């Protein structure tokens, strides 16, 4: 019963909208020929430009991600250093900071009124265009934003390598350098390619960076082209943009397919042995530690400082100095503006609702799939991942397509209401909650549930009394992950919000768009602070979670 309900739910929220969108893209269009829409869209000049731009910047940003993520992962997992958790947390902070805020922070850092470049006397002249409003800027920022994907993949493969590989090489007379270059690097190469493929797929679907840098810099990409078309012409053009969505999915799909091939083709390694012991770097330890902290500070801390500085400055464009520091920006944005207050309330309610719903569905699906071993539940859990894999823009389009017409039976359209955002958040982030809950329940003795059955307890009572208490820490972690991600979300919200249901992501974007960067910065700082506090809360929960739930603790 429950399984059928969950399956229908996931079908309606995930499979059906995406399926409809692709069917739409494959439709006939104005010419009436089959695949007419596709050929019409392909022929347009705007499409061609956006397509090549997307391909080019995504590929280049992957190079940045690898150049940053690989050395960081090698250094942090292979060398014995202190404060590893803190360092890892900073390296992974782009995962917690949404791309539009990351972009905003770097815009402030590199702009003419940059408090930090100003101190160094390096700030661009007032009135000059921010150097980040360019292809290079997009590449750099997407590179940083997706660096954690490469870092995580490489680190996971390094830390699970068995120590005997290293010992064997030692006995064979190899030095540390030869061990790293000759043994460890080749063995982690597949993981690196896999991480790079993920980074590529993420770049293709990224909206925040091209929206904040590419739109003012007149550098269109596929996600921003979809956004601008829909904003300019309304839902009438949905058929055309559906084709763009299909192309986005295809590009991401190729990358993920490559990842699958690489992972399945790579040489199997027996990972059961004692895990790798970090090296002692000897006299190189100090310099390495200094470089590491400098790089990580530059990537993760300095831009945020610039953002805080912008939020504390009295007016846009005014140089920050100790005597001009003011909390007016915070006051007028957070307290003075009714819209911002509403956005805060909306984002909290929507993400909390999505978090609770996703955790609930995740417990149900994971219980039925891993404890009860029902095929249908496992299929459903698999399909529930789709909305998280496809670019957010694509999911939002699919929702517009399916939920714009009035719903059958009740005859009301949920488009333009908070409901559509809530449903979209649930389906987009469900995968984040399923992951930890599934890991937790997979290690649960199935006899615990079977004993409940034998004693006559029905499915519902067993879930409430036996499964929920045992899955609670993992479900809570999943819910908090969903909340943190949804709270600052921009990509999906940008297409589905309406006046009255603004979200924080949308507010930051439109404040910056209107040129009110002090307010945008203040709001960003406030929302990031909120998310960081939450992250610290889950971290406290850490010891009660299955290993691997929190990416910064390994």
Partner 1 sequence: MANIRFDDVSKRYPGKIAVDRVSFEVPNGTFFALLGPSGCGKTTILRLIAGLERPDAGEIAIGKKPVAGHGRFVGPEHRGLGMVFQSYALWPHMTVAANVDFGLAGRGLSRAERRNRVREALDLVGLSAEGARRPHQLSGGQRQRVALARSLAVRPGIILLDEPLANLDAHLRQTMLAEFGRIHAQARTTFVFVTHDQNEAMALADQVAVMDHGRLQQLAPPEELFSRPASPMVARFVGQGRLLAADVVASAGRTTRIRLDDTEFQVEGAAPIGPGWLCLRARDVELAGDGAAGERLNGRVVASRFEGGDHRLTVEVGAAGATGLVDVLSPQRGRIGEAVRLALRGGWVLAREAT
Q: Rule CB under 8 A: which residues touch partner 1?
A: 445, 447-448, 450-458, 461, 465-466, 469-470
Q: Which is nearer to partner 1, 315 or 451 (CB)?
A: 451
Distance of CA 434 to the CA centre of its chain: 16
Cβ 450 to partner 1 shortest distance, Å = 5
CA dihedral (170, 172, 175, 181) positive or negative:
negative
* Bridge partners, 279 (sequence order): 79
- Buried-exposed string 340-357: b where 16+ CB fall within 10 A, e elsewhere: bebbbebbbebbebbbbb
Tokens matching residue 545: 């979670």
Q: Which is nearer to partner 1, 168 or 451 (CB)?
A: 451
Q: Which is nearer to partner 1, 214 or 452 (CB)?
A: 452
CB 6 within 8 A of CB 381: no
Integer Cα distance of 382 and 15 in angstroms = 11
Cβ 57 to partner 1 shortest distance, Å = 48
Long-range Cβ contact pairs of 237-242 (< 8 A, separation 24 or more): 238/24, 238/397, 238/400, 238/401, 239/24, 239/25, 239/27, 239/29, 239/37, 240/37, 240/40, 240/41, 241/397, 242/21, 242/22, 242/24, 242/25, 242/37, 242/397, 242/401
Cβ 149 to partner 1 shortest distance, Å = 36
Residue 284 DSSP label: G
Cβ 443 to partner 1 shortest distance, Å = 13
Cβ 360 to partner 1 shortest distance, Å = 19
Q: Which is nearer to partner 1, 261 or 457 (CB)?
A: 457
Q: Which is nearer to partner 1, 404 or 468 (CB)?
A: 468
What is the helix, strand, coil percentage profile of the chain, to 5? 75, 0, 25
Q: Which is nearer to partner 1, 173 or 469 (CB)?
A: 469
Cβ 89 to partner 1 shortest distance, Å = 30
* Bridge partners, 79 (sequence order): 279
Cβ 100 to partner 1 shortest distance, Å = 42
Q: Which is nearer to partner 1, 473 or 478 (CB)?
A: 473
- Three-state SS for 356-408 is HHHHHHHHHHHHHHHHCCCHHHHHHHHHHCHHHHCCHHHHHHHHHHHHCCCCC
* Bridge partners, 275 (sequence order): 162
Q: Which is nearer to partner 1, 316 or 444 (CB)?
A: 444
For the chain, the distance separating the N- and C-terminal CA atoms, rounded to the nearest angstrom, is 38
Integer Cα distance of 44 and 47 in angstroms = 5
Q: Which is nearer to partner 1, 341 or 465 (CB)?
A: 465
Integer Cα distance of 438 and 486 in angstroms = 21
Cβ 472 to partner 1 shortest distance, Å = 9
- Length of the chain as a residue count: 554
Cβ 54 to partner 1 shortest distance, Å = 45
Q: Which is nearer to partner 1, 277 or 448 (CB)?
A: 448
Residue 42, CA distances (Å) to 49, 307, 435 in order: 10, 40, 38
Q: Which is nearer to partner 1, 439 or 518 (CB)?
A: 439
Cβ 458 to partner 1 shortest distance, Å = 6
* Bridge partners, 162 (sequence order): 275
Cβ 535 to partner 1 shortest distance, Å = 26
Cβ 445 to partner 1 shortest distance, Å = 5
Q: Which is nearer to partner 1, 155 or 462 (CB)?
A: 462
Q: Give the helix/strand (H/E) hosting 538.
A: helix 517-541
């Amino acid at each position: 019963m429950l399984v059928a309900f969950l399956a229908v739910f996931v079908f309606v929220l995930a499979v059906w909208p995406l399926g409809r969108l692709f069917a739409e893209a494959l439709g006939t269009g104005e010419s009436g020929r089959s695949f007419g829409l596709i050929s019409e869209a392909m022929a347009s000049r705007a499409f061609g430009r956006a397509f090549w731009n997307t391909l080019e910047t995504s590929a280049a940003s992957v190079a940045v991600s690898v150049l940053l993520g690989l050395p960081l992962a090698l250094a942090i997992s292979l060398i014995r250093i202190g404060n590893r958790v803190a360092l890892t947390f900073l390296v992974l902070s782009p995962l917690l900071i949404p791309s539009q805020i990351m972009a905003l922070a770097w815009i402030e850092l590199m702009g003419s009124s940059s408090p930090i470049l100003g101190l160094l006397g390096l700030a661009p002249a007032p009135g000059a265009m921010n150097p980040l409003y360019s292809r290079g800027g997009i590449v750099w920022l997407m590179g940083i934003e997706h660096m954690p994907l490469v870092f995580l993949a490489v680190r996971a493969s390094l830390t699970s390598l068995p120590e005997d590989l290293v010992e064997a090489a030692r006995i064979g007379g190899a030095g540390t350098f030869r061990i790293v270059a000759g043994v460890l690097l080749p063995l982690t190469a597949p993981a690196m390619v896999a991480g790079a493929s993920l980074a590529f797929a993420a770049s293709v679907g990224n909206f925040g960076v091209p929206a904040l840098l590419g739109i003012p810099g007149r550098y269109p990409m596929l996600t921003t082209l979809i956004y601008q078309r829909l904003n300019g012409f309304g839902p009438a053009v949905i058929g055309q943009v559906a084709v763009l969505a299909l192309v986005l999915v295809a590009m991401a799909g190729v990358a993920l397919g490559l990842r699958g091939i690489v992972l399945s083709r790579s040489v199997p390694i027996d990972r059961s042995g004692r895990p790798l012991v970090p090296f002692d770097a000897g006299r190189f330890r100090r310099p390495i530690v200094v470089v590491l902290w400098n790089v990580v500070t530059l990537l993760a801390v300095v831009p945020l400082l610039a953002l805080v500085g912008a939020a504390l400055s009295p007016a846009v464009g005014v140089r920050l100095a100790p005597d001009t520091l003011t909390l007016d920006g915070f006051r007028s944005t957070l307290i003075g503006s009714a819209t911002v207050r509403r956005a805060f309330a909306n984002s909290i309610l929507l993400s909390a609702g999505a978090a609770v719903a996703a955790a609930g569905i995740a417990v149900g699906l994971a219980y039925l799939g891993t404890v009860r071993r029902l095929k249908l539940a496992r299929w459903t859990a698999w399909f529930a991942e789709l909305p998280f894999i496809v670019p957010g823009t694509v999911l939002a389009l699919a929702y517009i397509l399916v939920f714009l017409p009035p719903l059958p039976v009740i005859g009301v359209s949920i488009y333009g209401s908070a409901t559509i955002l809530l449903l979209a958040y649930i389906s987009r982030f469900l995968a984040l909650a399923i992951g930890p809950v599934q890991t937790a329940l997979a290690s649960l003795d199935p006899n615990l549930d079977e004993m409940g059955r034998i004693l006559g307890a029905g499915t519902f009572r067993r879930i409430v009394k036996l499964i929920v208490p045992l899955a609670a820490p993992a479900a809570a972690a999943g819910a908090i992950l969903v909340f943190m991600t949804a709270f600052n979300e921009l990509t999906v919200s940008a297409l589905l919000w309406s006046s009255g249901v603004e979200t924080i992501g949308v507010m930051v974007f439109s404040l910056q768009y209107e040129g009110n960067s002090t307010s945008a910065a203040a709001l960003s700082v406030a929302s990031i602070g909120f998310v960081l506090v939450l992250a610290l809360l889950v971290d406290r929960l850490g010891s009660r979670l299955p290993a691997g739930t929190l990416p910064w603790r390994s």
